[in-house]
Structure 1
Amino acid sequence: MESTHTNVSIEAVKGGITQQPDVEAIVNAANAELTTGGGVAGAIHHAAGPELYKECQDFAPIRPGEAVITRAYKLPNKYVIHCLGPMYERKKNYEDLLANCYKNALKLAEENKIKSIAFPAISTGVFGYPMEEATEVAVKTILGEVSKLKHLEKIKFVLFTQADLEIYQRKLEELY
């Protein structure tokens, strides 16, 4: 599914975040120390090679909602934007911290004149954020920021499972 909002195309696809050669930057669902870890962070570090870890050491640690940018090394992209999403706890509201991940990633993309970016579902893996809630935050935040973008032309949500893709597609249809 692909839609255009102002001059920015927004799409959701099924796939792996490290196999997105059609975007300049991919977003890493990072841990605070910007180390390999599991899930998205592990896949990105593994595909990029050890140089990524070395560059990340200059920026660590980061706090929830923060984002930093590095080169992508062996990945088919130019940049990796690392965001630390919040750990989900049922009785606390982390919507703002999760939204800040997306806002700060877009801000870095704009500052670096990046034309295309791919996001994974930040905080939904081992950080435990429920997919429905995280998707709502991601899509609302992106749609709220898109009119301010001057350089970005393409925003892509890359989902690992068909079920997650369907949630994103439904939210995009609802909120557009």
Structure 2
Amino acid sequence: MQLTAVRADITTLTVDAVVNAANSSLMGGGGVDGAIHRAGGPDILRECRELRDSHYPDGLPTGQAVATTAGELPARWVIHTVGPVFSRREDRSALLADCYRNSLRVAGEIGARTVAFPAVSAGIYGWPMDDAARIAVRTVRGSSTALDEVTFALFSADALAAFEAALADV
């Protein structure tokens, strides 16, 4: 599996699946979540509502992942995962790793071969970027998957630098 980091708007990437750093409601929000919902159009929100009505009446649990259509995005699917809010008092690293692990599992189940991830939890949820990058890269590298390519799509130069450093740390 090839791992790369790029500075890009995840909503513009032509991959099989993009991962959405969603909130548990699955109804859109700010940051990556809002951008994916806006760019993908109403079909994503419709499927998210159906998921809430059928499988997740209390919202998608932290660390879990579920797929919907990608609507008008160049991708085929959106894999929604809910990252943990960073805490200095409680180690939530395992939950963050679960986001990546479960997203990769869902990608395999739907037949995706190429996936793009944002820096889950490293925005509004406050996870320090260097640590988020280390957990993301370590988890993806350690996962058994049939994916051909995983791209980390980062919105800032600082995020890109953190992920490039994590990728270089073999």
Normalised by the length of structure 2, the TM-score is: 0.94
Contact 2:134/2:166 (<8 A) preserved: yes
Q: CA deviation digits over 1:71-112, x for unaligned, max 9? A: 101001100000000011111101000000000000011111
- Corresponding residue pairs, total: 164
Partner of 1:131 in structure 2? 129
Partner of 2:56 in structure 1? none
1:171, 1:156 → 2: CA distance?
A: 13
1:123, 1:96 → 2: CA distance?
A: 13
Partner of 1:42 in structure 2? 34
Normalised by the length of structure 1, the TM-score is: 0.91
1:162 alignment partner, one of 132, 154, 157: 157
CA positional deviation for 1:163: 1.1
State yes or no: 1:11 paired with 2:4: yes
State yes or no: 1:82 paired with 2:80: yes
Partner of 1:4 in structure 2? none
1:48, 1:39 → 2: CA distance?
A: 14
1:11, 1:129 → 2: CA distance?
A: 21
**Where in structure 2 are there 5+ consecutive unaligned residues?**
53-58
Give the counterpart letter for 2:73 in structure 1. L
Contact 2:43/2:69 (<8 A) preserved: no
Q: Does the residue aligned with 1:18 lie in a helix, a strand or coil?
A: helix
**Percent identity between the aligned chains?**
41
Partner of 1:94 in structure 2? 92
2:10, 2:27 → 1: CA distance?
A: 17
Q: Does the residue aligned with 2:150 lie in a helix, a strand or coil?
A: strand
Partner of 1:20 in structure 2? 13
1:51, 1:34 → 2: CA distance?
A: 13
Partner of 2:145 in structure 1? 149
Give the counterpart letter for 2:154 in structure 1. L
1:169, 1:133 → 2: CA distance?
A: 13
State yes or no: 1:59 paired with 2:57: no
1:149, 1:97 → 2: CA distance?
A: 19
